[in-house]
């Protein structure tokens, strides 16, 4: 199971990448930097929040995980 801090770090790194992509696409389509920054900013906030909850939900799903037997104690 991942800790909350790891989920947040992953969300931030992915959002930076995604927001740069959104900014560039919006800039190419509109030709306006200010509008592209606005679109990228809103997109970054909403998708950061959605990604965090998506990550936490998947942490509760066992699909695709392998169980590792850890001894109760070690000598």
**What is the per-residue pLDDT across 41-63, written as a single tens digit (0 to 9) for each?**
998 889 888 888 988 898 888 88
- Across the chain, mean pLDDT equals 87
Tally of CB atoms within 10 A around 5: 8
Q: Percent of the chain beyond pLDDT 70?
A: 99
- 67 near 9, Cβ under 8 Å? no
- 2 near 59, Cβ under 8 Å? yes
Give the Cα separation of 45 and 33 in Å (integer). Answer: 18
Chain center to CA of 74: 36
Q: Is the pTM of this model over 0.85?
A: no
Structure confidence by residue, pLDDT tens digits, 11-41: 788 888 989 999 999 999 999 999 999 999 9
Going by C-alpha positions, the residue among 67, 50, 38 that lies closest to residue 11 is: 50
């Amino acid at each position: 199971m991942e800790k909350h801090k790891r989920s947040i770090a992953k969300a931030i790194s992915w959002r930076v990448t995604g927001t740069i992509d959104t900014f560039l696409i919006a800039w190419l389509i509109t030709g306006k930097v200010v509008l592209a920054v606005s679109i990228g900013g809103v997109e970054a906030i909403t998708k950061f929040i959605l990604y965090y909850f998506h990550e936490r939900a998947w942490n509760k799903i066992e699909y695709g995980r392998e169980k590792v037997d850890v001894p109760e104690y070690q000598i």
